[in-house]
Structure 1
């Protein structure tokens, strides 16, 4: 059977699924010849073109996957590096906390040693006196000893009497020991590990979004507080417009289609036009480039550009940066090599290592576009 509506050869299942309600006819010489002539004169030549289209799509997919793969490697390295630092920090904190405990323990130990020394010394003195006199105290005739001018025994007895009085007078030893015991420090720890564990779990949030092949035209674009005119496919930029954002739906840019009044230009994520010299006017002073899909060839950046911003996701080759560019400003891009030798400013989002000597840190200055869909 042939579907007369679609000019396709069909089977019974196709009739029910894809050609319901269409008109059908039997296969004959006339309709067979018509289908063959279309295949011969049209489809066969286009098959070769389709191979080229498929290869181009495959290359585009491979390039996109390469950028995603690079981002994956960067993400893994970031997490690994952060946890390495956390591990070292935890070791330092552990050692510091144990050191604090040891210090307090040593203080308590010193107090205990002092008390032990006092008690030991007192006990020795007490034992010395009691052992000397406990069996002889009643036999001592103090008058006789004192009257004996040639004996110094009474001096020793008087010394022991004074020592005894000091050992028991006003409970001095007990008071001193009690004072020392009051200096003991009762050490406790507050275990906040549960809260810390929970917070560490949230140290990284992993999110995903559609790749730049699925980026749609935004409804609104602002940067540094200024709203940009969104240049979509087949749209016309009004004369006098100074701020323009080129949407990913744009298929081509004709020379002269962007008026010379434009000073600020954003190439939005997914922009897929190969820029060539003359496409962008020489009036542009600030060029902000997002995750575009084509490289920036020589001459594609106007010689009027003074500030070149490479936004999040930019990962294309730059053949040339004009001498007019005074500042290269980096957001979250993987690139580290630029044909540029003047001032480079990196925002906090830029994580790559640069070997250039003229690199400055930068807070972003509200230049990152805010895109609303």
Structure 2
């Protein structure tokens, strides 16, 4: 058994020795020669043949001296290069895996971005569809209201004129016949005539005659004919050419950019230059007459001068902006005269505590690259704005405890409970804000809350109950209720509504609200019940949908129609609970009974330009305030026995035409 094993080992060694003699290129031939032209590489006879790679090279048979030279060359040259090649291959493999991992991560990001961007496109189309649908619904509601107004007006007109039929004509003929006969037979005085006809149709006809003349003076018929022109029969039409262009342009909304590993530095430089160009375009860097560069702040248009450590500012109390290339802030550190500062996109200087000027009270922060720490923002800052692109977490303590006014734009990191300190009482959540407002994010210290076109839905408790004033600005498009639960909490006392997209429903506005302002552009139909019975004060500006009977609840005592209000105030619109009415240059004329008898204090001013025909101002008025009016008064415009009239400094007419009673108290403001 042992002998057999030894024989096998000997055979294996012999086989290995035989294989080592074979040529690597021609395995059937033994290595017999060394090529002198190719660093003594071993060759077989086929390598040296006419078809071989060493044909006509200098060749020698293998000898001790050649083997020695070959071994030295192997040790000193070939083997080190072989080790270098192995190292290079190892590094290349590592680099390849790293690049591939980056590509894999980028591929995942690309897929996510693809879904996110197309989700936005779907969302845009969905919003557009809903907006068109709402426009159609609003137009239809307006047409419905016009139809209802005309129908109601004509019904009232017909009811007022109910005697204008054949029985009425018969009564008139009989009355005329009786009057003529009695007039010929008897000689009565005026009192005798009235007494004689008492209990007959004549007295009723006299009254009806008076009412008929008043009815004919009323312009209801003309108004109704004019209202026919207000009908708006819209036809929706799609621009197929633009649709085709959009389809074609959709293919160019993306670009696949070669972002190879070797080009990272170039990409960085390109992005750097791009950011500078975007900064110039975004803020429109300008130069004043003294060659100082400045930008204008969005919204206010205020000048902010660009600071640089290598240049001077026009003076030490200007508003300044700190950009990517501002350099060291040491010159600013101790200056307490800089109250207004903007940190622009790309700002990268240290923001250790005490670096920014200690006197700053107004601070705007954009997409800065330096992390904020507790103490970065000076303690005197009272007005603080985080603008679009701000990409840092706002940890508790970052915002100083003196800040009262906080503006949050499209920041990129979510807020946490404690991010907003309890010192903040005015909070503005601006267009594009896309972070969650979980309960507790907005602290209980906030009393005044402004919400614009935010991109994340509100939750129950997002708005704390301690908020007393809520303003929903243009574009606000988040649901105001979940089921039957209003997201506007009980506790809100004042509500201001602009051109919001969210639909108001009965129950959307809580019963704690006492004052509502409907601002320019508000275009929803205020169906009865939307404004709750808790509301006492109403302010209307240039709203785009007409009011209907029941829009204004009877709980409203103070009612303001301001100078751009352009809707009809027909009888019944103002509820009979109103006591104080303010007409500030409204665009539409009033009708008799537009102002109910519940109103006791009436103010007309602001260039009011409509004829105050007799009967428009009711006899219930105890105090009338008149300002600038662009249409002359006539006799009967003002009730003769009104107790008090206050004339503002710009009242530009005479009251003599009104023939007021001597008991009327007239007060002229200076």
TM-score, L = length of structure 2: 0.31
Per-residue deviation, 1:91: 0.6
Residue 305 (structure 1) aligns with = 446
Residue 335 (structure 1) aligns with = 480
Residue 458 (structure 2) aligns with = 317
Q: d(CA) in 2 for partners of 1:64 and 1:43?
A: 30
Please state if 1:57 is matched with 2:117: yes
Give the aligned CA root-mean-square deviation in angstroms: 4.8
Residue 284 (structure 1) aligns with = 424
Could you report, residue by residue, the CA deviation over 1:146-188 in whole angstroms, capped at 9, with x for unpaired residues?
xxxxxxxxxxxxxxxxxxx979xxxxxxxxxxxx9xx898979
Of 214, 218, 227, which aligns to 1:196? 227
Residue 23 (structure 2) aligns with = none
Q: d(CA) in 1 for partners of 2:422 and 2:185?
A: 103
Structure-2 change in CA distance of 1:265 and 1:103 (3 Å): farther
Judge conservation of contact 2:465–2:489 (CA < 8 Å) in 1: no
Structure-2 change in CA distance of 1:41 and 1:201 (3 Å): same
Q: d(CA) in 2 for partners of 1:80 and 1:238?
A: 55
Judge conservation of contact 1:245–1:267 (CA < 8 Å) in 2: yes
Per-residue deviation, 1:239: 4.4
Matches within 5 A, 1:173-188: none
Judge conservation of contact 1:220–1:228 (CA < 8 Å) in 2: no
Of 366, 377, 380, which aligns to 1:240? 380
Per-residue deviation, 1:295: 2.4
Please state if 1:112 is matched with 2:173: yes
2:427 counterpart SS class: strand
Q: d(CA) in 2 for partners of 1:295 and 1:65?
A: 23
Structure-2 change in CA distance of 1:192 and 1:307 (3 Å): closer
Q: d(CA) in 1 for partners of 2:393 and 2:153?
A: 59
Residue 274 (structure 1) aligns with = 414
Could you report, residue by residue, the CA deviation over 1:218-269 in whole angstroms, capped at 9, with x for unpaired residues?
61359xxxx975432229865422123332232334435533321111234x
Q: d(CA) in 1 for partners of 2:439 and 2:388?
A: 22
1:240 counterpart SS class: coil
Judge conservation of contact 1:282–1:303 (CA < 8 Å) in 2: yes
Residue 86 (structure 1) aligns with = 146
Structure with bigger RCO (C-alpha 8 Å, 6+ apart): 1
The runs of 5 or more residues in structure 1 that have no matched partner are 1-32, 123-164, 168-179, 203-215, 366-373
Per-residue deviation, 1:287: 1.5
Of 250, 254, 258, which aligns to 2:399? 258
Q: d(CA) in 2 for partners of 1:118 and 1:364?
A: 59
Residue 365 (structure 2) aligns with = 231
The runs of 5 or more residues in structure 2 that have no matched partner are 1-91, 187-204, 234-281, 284-296, 302-360, 370-375, 520-670
Q: d(CA) in 2 for partners of 1:276 and 1:289?
A: 15
1:343 counterpart SS class: coil
Could you report, residue by residue, the CA deviation over 1:35-62 in whole angstroms, capped at 9, with x for unpaired residues?
x959745434421221122223344455
Could you report, residue by residue, the CA deviation over 1:281-316 in whole angstroms, capped at 9, with x for unpaired residues?
332122122342232124432343234333466762
Residue 296 (structure 1) aligns with = 437
Judge conservation of contact 1:327–1:343 (CA < 8 Å) in 2: yes
Residue 321 (structure 2) aligns with = none
Judge conservation of contact 2:407–2:427 (CA < 8 Å) in 1: yes
1:363 counterpart SS class: strand
Judge conservation of contact 1:261–1:283 (CA < 8 Å) in 2: yes
Q: d(CA) in 1 for partners of 2:131 and 2:454?
A: 9
Structure-2 change in CA distance of 1:301 and 1:89 (3 Å): same
Judge conservation of contact 2:406–2:427 (CA < 8 Å) in 1: yes
Q: d(CA) in 2 for partners of 1:246 and 1:99?
A: 63
Q: d(CA) in 1 for partners of 2:487 and 2:456?
A: 12
Q: d(CA) in 1 for partners of 2:173 and 2:455?
A: 68
- The count of corresponding residues between Structure 1 and Structure 2 is 256
Judge conservation of contact 1:307–1:329 (CA < 8 Å) in 2: yes
Structure-2 change in CA distance of 1:201 and 1:253 (3 Å): farther
Q: d(CA) in 1 for partners of 2:469 and 2:127?
A: 21
Per-residue deviation, 1:195: 4.2
Q: 1 or 2, which has the higher helix percentage? A: 1
TM-score, L = length of structure 1: 0.51
Q: d(CA) in 2 for partners of 1:279 and 1:249?
A: 17
